[in-house]
Structures are given as structure tokens and as C-alpha cells.
Amino acid sequence: MVRNWAKEAYRDIFRRRAKVEGFRSRAAYKLLEANKRFRLIKEGDIVVELGAWPGGMTQAASRLVGETGLVIAVDVRKFKAFSESNVITIQSDILEEDTTIKILQVLNGKLVDVVVSDASPRFTGVRDVDISRQIELTEKSYNISLKLVKRGGSIMLKALECRELQLLEEQLRTSFNYVKRFIPSATRKTSSEIYLVGLKRY
């Protein structure tokens, strides 16, 4: 009991840190930790984030790419305006085909260095339903990334711990040299979320 409380208190630190450091959510620290481990994003990169609302991870990406980089944040929900000048937002559902077209229009012929997906469904509490919906979002994010990510680029996709996870990994291995599972420290103890990281696209 004490150990569980300590772990949850540790994770709550990220929520407090986010407020102090100006991030909209603890998700910022998930990306920062992933970047420290995998070196996904560097200064000057173009990053597309899918399922980006409310924007904590977007802000982290903005800091990582710097003034010479660009972050395109996509979500079906409307964003509160960002103060960061290197962030462009697109309000669109990633499950709709025209979302990819909107992203490509913003890119104007360029390919991106990294696609990050933090997309989650509205959870019902019914595990099989929630897993099915999350898999749909993860697979869609992966398919979008194949149209956007340049050779040598990387992806980081949110998923859930489930039987189907291995199949998702196998999909990623058809396009990326290295595929890793990653559970950030900022993930809540009660969550079964996990990220699939694909490095160095063929």
C-alpha cells in the first residue's frame, strides 16, 4: 500500500511540474523522456503530432525543434491558442481521410522528420471496446505517418498493452529499422498505455 502510494505521488509530481514549467499537461514529460532515450527530435526538425490536444506534448516538441523547426499539431478538438511561433494547429479528425490532405497542404511538398501520436479514444471502461478503438487510432496514425515521414525519420505512437501489440510492432518493422516499446515515467500507474517507437525509416 505504501509503495503504491509513493509511486502515484511520484507521478503526480509531473502534473505539478507541468503547471510550474508552463506545460499544458504531463504528456510533455513523456516526449522529453522519449527524446532523451531515443533522440527522436533535434533542432530544426519538422514534427507532426496527432491527437495533440490539449498541447503539452506539442509544447515540448516546440522547445526541442527550436525557432528553426516546426510542429504541426492535429486534433479533432479545438486548441487554445499557442504562444509558440513555431506551432501550427489543424482541427481535424485523424480517422477522416481529408486530415492527411490538410497536413500535406501545410507541408507544401516537404516530408517530416518525426510523427508523434498521442491519440486516445473516449474510453468506455469496457476493455475489449477500448482496446479496439485504441488499435484503430494507432493503426491510422501509423498509416498517416507512412505518407509523411522521410527516409531516416522516426515515429512514436501511443498504444495499449494487449495481445494485438505484437502485431502492431510487426507492422512497424516493415518500415523502420528499430522498433522499441516505451513506457514513460509520467504515465499513471493505473494506465495500460505504452508507446511504440520506430526509428530510422527505410
Q: Which amino acid is at 184?
A: P
In the block, residue with C-alpha cell 507544401: 108
Is 95 strand, coil or helix? Answer: coil
The bridge status of strand 193-201 relative to strand 176-182 is antiparallel
Is 113 strand, coil or helix? Answer: strand
Active-site residue, from 158, 180, 189, 200: 158
Q: How far apart are CA 63 and CA 43, in angstroms?
A: 9
The contacts of residue 108 (CB under 8 Å, 6+ apart) are none
Residue 52: alpha-carbon gap to chain centroid:
7
The contacts of residue 186 (CB under 8 Å, 6+ apart) are 11, 14, 26, 27, 29, 30, 33
Q: How far apart are CA 32 and CA 37, in angstroms?
A: 9
Helix 27-38 crosses helix 2-21 at what angle (to 10 degrees)? 90
78 is catalytic: no
What positions carry a catalytic annotation?
Answer: 158
